[in-house]
Structure 1
Amino acid sequence: MPRTKETRANAAPGAGTIFALRAIGLVLVARWLFSMAQMDLAASLSAMVSSPWACINLVFLFLLIFLPGAHAVAERPFHPLPQWLRQALRLFAFLGLVFAVWSVGAFVVSAGWRRAAQAVAATNGWLLAAPILYAAVVWICRPRPLWRTNIAARRFAIGRYAVSLDPATRTVIVWAERRKVGQYDARELSVRWAAGQDVRATPASGHAVAFGAAGEPGASAAPLGSVATPALAHGALWRRPKVELLWDSPAAAGHNRQTVFRAALMTEGDRVAARALDTTLRQV
């Protein structure tokens, strides 16, 4: 009997990112073709050839629509794009955002708010939609870790770094966005809180992560510490608290006490992940 083709009910993680980027690219292309249709074809082509900005936009739109190398994989839900493509899209989108904001701002200053409002209405809001689309691409391509923090699965996300711990082999793999930083022995890693911010001083009830003799959870449990209010006061605005992951291997000559990564704790999720990682490494 012929074998039926299996279909997935749910899209792979990261497919929404690919869809959103391609949709933005199609909207930009449609608007560009609409603007060219209102001009003479020869004049439009000559203007494109003589304009470096038009060439940059063509490359940007090509990458945005075709997304070469993009593939949604469950192991990296936040990084369906290759690193070079993510950085290129972010750069081109940032240049487009600066150019769009500068153009709109210069028009508003020279023509006034009333004529600017009329121009927005005449273009069906495109003068405002274009900068928003460029900003959306910059935001989608922002630096992110591979995954969200999942304490039960021993996966931690701090800033743009992702840490995965295998309790069976007691090894830790560290990723910087999509790039693998290295693989380490979990017993040789430790968390250091910068500027003397010791979050372990204030215990609080929360998730408990512990390892037994075989590296399995449940043998003993210790509550995760919570960040004290005075410690967080030092990290306001320009002085956010930072955390470091240190590698101290007696067997690696010349590599003792190396910093694997240093990240600022920008959100409460980063703080929770850092506390959970610290507790987990101490119990390995």
Structure 2
Amino acid sequence: MARTKETRANAAPGAGTIFTLRAIGLVLAARWFFSMSQMNLTSALTAMASSPWACINLVFLFLLIFQPGARAVAERPFHPLPQWLRQALRLFAFLGLLFALWSVGAFVASAGWRRAMQAVAATNGWLVAAPVLYAAVLWICRPRPLWRTNVAARRFAIGRYAVSLDALTRTVVVWAERRKVGQYDARELSVRWANGPAARPTPTPTPAVAFGAAGEPGASAAPIASVAAPALTRGAFGMRPKVELLWDSPAAAGHNRQTVFRAALMTEGDRVAARALDATLRQV
């Protein structure tokens, strides 16, 4: 079967994430080098060598712009970056956001709001843009599953976990972000609702209506809404309901009734995906 050739007009999912992070890195680098250009070369190099924050910034900018190991692949649309790079960018962005907020806050406290507004205008809004850019990197590198939920393809996303089910071999592969948690027999897995209003039983739909046959062109995830519970609500003390994926294997001595993962249902999509996964595992 001929494969679709990836072109600029048909880029792999995740290319936008790489482009956005690189663009943020170039903007931060341009502004940083502009600030350094106000000093002579010797003073700039001396200041950089004696400043730990400058060294952290250099490493952060290098990772943002060059992104070693980053590659957009259709099988992991939300994770084009290696896990170590995502974690490093998240850490550096968090430190940068704290430093930017502390610097701006200290300046406002000492100079007052009027001079702060004048400084924002004099720097073309950079005092506000810098924290926003660090926050954007932090948000882009947040914990996410590998893909979106696609019930027809038997792919589910709950929190930062991704679950794929092969109907032919009856095997389930679980991923935590980009790390593979394990591969299991689908008949040995079950979903348990830990707490909250979503813990009520769900009627099992017929496969032809709710899920469609494997590889069927008309298969869609939309009918699952007919078996979903009421809208997601918070439990006691504002806590979100949680769901657990349990592995109960009679053949695995010492591993019976093990929790594969436990995740809070933060969004309506998480709840629908958990219900769809529960219904699918009951049909295996």
**TM-score, normalised to structure 1's length?**
0.89
Paired residue for 2:151? 151
Task: Note if 1:88 corresponds to 2:119.
Answer: no
Distance 2:82 2:157 in 1: 19
Paired residue for 2:186? 186
Task: Note if 1:71 corresponds to 2:37.
Answer: no
Calculate the aligned-residue CA RMSD, in Å: 2.5
The alpha carbon displacement at 1:196 in A equals 6.3
Letter in 2 for 1:227: A
Bigger shift: 190-199 or 271-280? 190-199
Paired residue for 2:282? 282
The alpha carbon displacement at 1:36 in A equals 1.0
Paired residue for 1:255? 255
Checking the alignment, whether the CA contact within 8 Å between 1:12 and 1:74 is kept in structure 2 is yes
Distance 2:39 2:252 in 1: 67
- Pairwise mapping of residues 109-188 of structure 1 onto structure 2 (< 5 A)? 109-188=109-188
Paired residue for 2:211? 209
Letter in 1 for 2:227: G
Letter in 2 for 1:10: N
Distance 2:280 2:154 in 1: 8
Distance 1:164 1:237 in 2: 33
Distance 1:113 1:198, change over 3 A: closer
Letter in 1 for 2:177: E
The alpha carbon displacement at 1:225 in A equals 3.3
Distance 1:268 1:196, change over 3 A: closer
Letter in 2 for 1:168: L
Paired residue for 1:273? 273
SS of residue in 2 equivalent to 1:195: coil
SS of residue in 2 equivalent to 1:13: coil
Checking the alignment, whether the CA contact within 8 Å between 2:152 and 2:212 is kept in structure 1 is no
Which runs of 5 or more structure 1 residues have no equivalent in the other structure?
none
The alpha carbon displacement at 1:38 in A equals 1.2
Distance 2:122 2:225 in 1: 60
CA offsets 1:221-278 (integer angstroms, 9 cap, x no match) = 998632346xx54537741000000000011111100000000000000000000000
Number of matched residues?
272
- Pairwise mapping of residues 51-66 of structure 1 onto structure 2 (< 5 A)? 51-66=51-66
SS of residue in 1 equivalent to 2:69: coil
Distance 1:211 1:13 in 2: 26
Distance 1:194 1:114, change over 3 A: same
Paired residue for 1:34? 34
Letter in 2 for 1:78: F
SS of residue in 2 equivalent to 1:93: helix
Distance 1:178 1:225 in 2: 30
Distance 1:147 1:6, change over 3 A: closer
Task: Note if 1:98 corresponds to 2:91.
Answer: no
Distance 2:75 2:145 in 1: 12
SS of residue in 1 equivalent to 2:195: helix
What is the aligned-residue identity percentage? 81
SS of residue in 1 equivalent to 2:192: strand
Distance 1:224 1:119, change over 3 A: same
Which runs of 5 or more structure 2 residues have no equivalent in the other structure?
none
Bigger shift: 200-209 or 103-112? 200-209
Checking the alignment, whether the CA contact within 8 Å between 1:201 and 1:225 is kept in structure 2 is no
Distance 2:133 2:225 in 1: 44
Letter in 1 for 2:190: S
The alpha carbon displacement at 1:182 in A equals 0.3
- Pairwise mapping of residues 236-251 of structure 1 onto structure 2 (< 5 A)? 238-251=238-251
Letter in 2 for 1:208: A
Distance 1:43 1:65 in 2: 25
**TM-score, normalised to structure 2's length?**
0.89
The alpha carbon displacement at 1:37 in A equals 1.1
Letter in 1 for 2:282: R
Distance 1:198 1:125, change over 3 A: closer
